Structure 1
Amino acid sequence: MNEVFWLSEDVATLPVAEIAKILNQPVSRVHQLVKDGQLLSLRRDGEVVVPADFLDDDGAVVKGLPGTITVLRDGGYSDPDILRWLFEEDESLPGTPVASLRAGRHREVKRRAQAMAF
């Protein structure tokens, strides 16, 4: 990962090793989840991290996140653009798309992603 992805400093992130512990998976599996579009990572202060909001309270990937990432990637969006979109306020949701995913409104978020991507 050479590029620094845009993400506000106030968005909490966790190192990949911590994500691996939470998911009860090896670090290599977390890297594979990123490669496969199940999660997104970024480099912050020289360390590869994942936004903490990508995991639910039960320690699993938030429902709907992988599908949303896939829709946006298929629509030509880069990972930095996807991160930016997931964490930007959207008055029509209300809140951020990632907050809506965490609240169980994944179908609405995916519909918006599809409309943006195509």
Structure 2
Amino acid sequence: MSVEIPTETEWLSLPELVELTGEPLGRVRRLLDERQLVASRRHGAPRVPAIFLVDGVPVGSLRGTVIVLQDAGFSDDELIDWLLAPEESIGTAPILALRAGRKSEVRRVAQSLA
């Protein structure tokens, strides 16, 4: 299965996440607090890459991968950048590999970054 690397990532604000997920704002904030989603504040208000969701639901294997990267010392912005950028050892962007069900491979590479 060929997966294209996202060149331009769509970023969602919290109100857009509420609309997309159908969840109340409190639940969207809880998804962030529980690390099921991760947001960047680089440009003001928190924004989440749209690619972190599938059919309005966070990618299931994202949370564990985020925790591995945090344990390796990554900030939220650094881990978002790593997930979105092409990773040579995986052959694609890590988030695309997670979406394709390649969780073990992505986490193995993430753990090697510590």
Flag whether TM exceeds 0.5 (same fold): yes
Of 33-42 and 44-53, deviating more is 44-53
TM-score scaled by length of structure 2: 0.83
| Contiguous gaps of at least 5 residues in structure 1 | 1-8
Asked if 1:70 is matched to 2:40, the reply is no
Check whether the contact 1:64–1:110 (CA below 8 A) recurs between aligned residues. no
1:15 to 13, 16, 20: 13
SS of the aligned residue for 1:81 comes to helix
Indicate how the Cα distance of structure 1 residues 25 and 44 shifts in structure 2: closer, same or farther if over 3 A, else same.
same
**Percent identity of paired positions between Structure 1 and Structure 2:** 41
Cα distance between partner residues in 2 of 1:46 and 1:116? 28
The count of corresponding residues between Structure 1 and Structure 2 is: 108
| Contiguous gaps of at least 5 residues in structure 2 | 1-6
Q: Runs ≥4 in structure 1, deviation > 4 angstroms?
A: none
Q: Which amino acid aligns with 2:35?
A: G
TM-score scaled by length of structure 1: 0.80
5 Å matches for 1:6-85? 10-43=8-41, 45-56=43-54, 58-85=55-82
Aligned-pair CA distance for 1:92: 2.2
